Amino acid sequence: MQKVCAGLGIKQKFHAANHPQSAGLVECYNGTLKLKIAKVQASTGLNWPDALPLALLSTRTAVHSRLGLSPYEVIFGRPANVWGVPRPKKYSDLPYPMLIDYLHDLTTKLRVLHQQVQSALPEASTDPGHSIRPGDWVCTKNFQRQRNLEPRWREPRLVLLTTRTAVKVEGKKNWVHAVHCKKVPLPLPFDQWVRRGISDSESEKVPQFVPFSDARLIGTLSEKEDDDILQEAIPSHRRLNTTNPGTLFQNQTASGQERYNLRPRPKNL
């Protein structure tokens, strides 16, 4: 099989690729098979290559409690030939009409067994599995914390695509499982971030100031000029440096109320 895959340029995988449910079943069966091999070795003293056929025979002929059938019966339509059971004649010795009738009966029985198995399988769930939708903002879990005091969740990111179990967020190449995402409210509007202040530790997704001169900021005496400055600041996405001391207050209106309270900014801007 490895040579065939190499000749055809096929990347061989030993599990059901892109289907976690089947991969989980394979891992579960591998654990059961290893347990059976250990039991055969303990009772017979055989090494594991010699004990493997006995463990496989036990697994393939075991009757499923819910179906009432063994894996061998589901595939071949008849019970497996085990020790102590007389074997039938070779099919080559049967007359042709009898062989045709046998194949027809076997096909009919296989169809009935497959319908029985299909009816016993659980129905696929239509539940989306999570409430995250494209356009939402989520925090992804941080699995690479260097210190215990580091946050357990990363900065909010925009959701681009979703499936039943996974989420594709902006800025990450890999998909993230939905259980590792925490939905957060939408980011605040820009003017609310102006009032609360902006710190260097906040996410890059938060809109930030363009460094205007003091004269231009102080010289804005109308609401329209203030709005023009805000609209010019939004597309730049540059951070206002707040390392130097000093606080700049916007001119007060006639009613004596402050329109804006800007964070400390350097004097050289």
Residue 132 domain-assigned (yes or no): no
pLDDT at 77 over 70: yes
Q: Using pLDDT thresholds of 50, 70 and 90, give the confidence band for residue 96.
A: confident
Residues 201 and 267 in one domain: yes
Lowest mean pLDDT among 69-73, 77-81, 150-154, 158-162: 77-81
Residues 73 and 115 in one domain: yes
Residue 128 domain-assigned (yes or no): no
Q: Using pLDDT thresholds of 50, 70 and 90, give the confidence band for residue 253.
A: very low
CA-derived radius of gyration, the chain: 35
Mean pLDDT of 147-156: 86
Residues 201 and 228 in one domain: yes
Residue 131 domain-assigned (yes or no): no
pLDDT at 137 over 50: yes
Residues 217 and 237 in one domain: yes
Domain range for 238 is 188-269
Residues 170 and 243 in one domain: no
Q: What is the pLDDT of residues 165-200, one digit of tens each?
A: 889 999 888 899 999 999 988 765 544 444 444 444
DSSP strands (E only) in the chain: 137-141, 153-162, 166-169, 176-177, 181-184
6: domain CATH number is: 3.30.420.10
What pLDDT does residue 98 have? 81
Percentage above 70 pLDDT, the chain: 65
Residue 108 domain-assigned (yes or no): yes
What pLDDT does residue 189 have? 54
Residues 40 and 5 in one domain: yes
What's the start-to-end Cα distance of the chain, in Å?
A: 70
Residues 103 and 169 in one domain: no
Residues 56 and 2 in one domain: yes
Residues 243 and 260 in one domain: yes
Instruction: Count structural domains, the chain.
Output: 4
Percentage above 90 pLDDT, the chain: 18
Under 8 Å CB-to-CB from 22, ≥6 apart: which residues?
Answer: 15, 16
Residues 257 and 194 in one domain: yes
Q: What is the pLDDT of residues 201-240, one digit of tens each?
A: 444 444 443 444 444 444 444 445 545 544 554 444 433 3
Residue 127 domain-assigned (yes or no): no
Last residue of a domain, one of 165, 184, 203: 184
Residues 200 and 267 in one domain: yes
More confident residue, 255 or 94: 94
Q: Using pLDDT thresholds of 50, 70 and 90, give the confidence band for residue 1.
A: confident
What pLDDT does residue 85 have? 57
Under 8 Å CB-to-CB from 186, ≥6 apart: which residues?
Answer: 137
Q: Using pLDDT thresholds of 50, 70 and 90, give the confidence band for residue 123.
A: confident
Q: What is the pLDDT of residues 14-53, one digit of tens each?
A: 777 777 778 888 888 899 999 999 999 999 999 999 999 9
163: domain CATH number is: 2.30.30.850
Inter-residue contact 155 to 107 (CB < 8 Å)? no
Tell me the DSSP string of 17-46: TT-HHHHHHHHHHHHHHHHHHHHHHHHH--
Structure tokens at 209: 């100031």
Residues 179 and 237 in one domain: no
